[in-house]
Structure 1
Amino acid sequence: MKILILNGPNLNLQGRRDTGVYGSQTFESYFEALKANYPSVEFGYFQSNIEGELIDAVQQADGVYDGVVLNAGGYTHTSVALRDAVSAVSVPVVEVHISSILTREEFRHTSLLAPVAAGSIMGFGLNSYRLGVYALLTGAEK
């Protein structure tokens, strides 16, 4: 199985940014551990602070990957275009968040992606990614 991990804005700062909310482990070290936990999975990884690049990555994943684990960061709450891209592809996309967006500021409570994603996982720290991978491996569908 091939799974793309796709991270949006500011996730390149994981481990340094707002560690009280997001923790101190870098995404790079977490990703290495994630790959070690799933040796039979072929992982791809892409991070961008640019909305259009994330849209391109979702579109390019279709037909190449069996699933996408997407943390769209702040674009979760604002990007109709990213939502439309997720809606347009046949590959299942699991939305993940390190923190629980429902316990944060009110403007973060609404996800534009949730209605078109295969599912949403939030609030489990970096383990939200592992749970997203698990969901794809056990049959999350578009």
Structure 2
Amino acid sequence: MGKSVIIINGPNLNLLGTREPEIYGRTTLADIEALARDHGRRLGVDVSFVQSNLEGELVDAIQKARGVHDGIILNAAAYTHTSVALMDALKATGVPAVEVHLSNIFSREPFRHHSYISPVAIGVICGFGAKGYVLALDALVATFD
């Protein structure tokens, strides 16, 4: 059986392409999913996706990853800066996770500089737009060896 990665996207990412394009660009979430799916195929990794605006649904997706997926790519969006629940879910599952952000969170408002996800992620990629998901897949798959 091949390796599997789930990409979990948090609140408002369903609005990509139209939401603050000066920050997030014009790439839609569907575009990112196609890009990641294609790159996963090249890497020999099955890629699946979840997006929710609800914190509890994101926690559920993380918990369900255990025993099913070999890795998680998580763009928790605004929950990055507020959610102890997402952090605890990542710790509890033990599934390796990479934190991703489209924008460089460290060049934005000070409240965005703190992440509850970073301490339990194997790495963080931010500021590269949609390409960040490809970089995250490369980084995560490299840990599978």
TM-score category (smaller protein): over 0.9
Which residue number in structure 2 is paired with residue 136 of structure 1? 140
Match of 1:11 in 2: 13
Report the Cα offset of residue 30 of structure 1.
Answer: 2.4
Unpaired runs of 5+ residues, structure 1, are none
Q: Distance in 2 between matches of 1:73 and 1:111?
A: 10
Match for residue 48 of structure 2?
44
TM-score normalised by length of structure 1: 0.95
How far apart, in 2, do the equivalents of 1:78 and 1:134 lie? 27
> Residue 126 of structure 1: which of 127, 130, 143 is its match?
130
* Distance change in 2, residues 1:140/1:131 (3 Å): farther
- Counterpart in the other structure of 2:87: 83
Letter in structure 1 aligned against 2:54: I
TM-score by length of structure 2 reads 0.93
For 1:72, the equivalent position in structure 2 comes to: 76
Equivalents in 2 of 1:127, 1:32: separation in Å?
Answer: 12
Question: What do the CA deviations read for 1:74-124 (whole angstroms, capped 9, x no partner)?
Answer: 000000111111111121011000001100001111001101111111011
Structure 2 unmatched runs, 5+: none
The share of aligned pairs that are identical, in percent, is 49
- Tell me how many residue pairs correspond in the alignment: 141
* Stretch moving more, 11-20 or 33-42: 33-42
- Distance in 1, Cα, partners of 2:119 & 2:64: 21
SS in 2 for 1:38: helix
Q: Between 21-30 and 69-78, report the one with greater CA deviation.
A: 21-30
Instruction: Report if the CA contact (8 A) 2:91-2:120 is conserved.
Output: yes
Matched-pair contact (CA < 8 Å) for 2:40–2:47: no
Q: CA RMSD in A?
A: 1.3
Structure 2 counterpart of 1:96, from 82, 93, 100:
100
The answer (yes or no) to whether the contact 1:118–1:140 under 8 Å persists in 2 is no
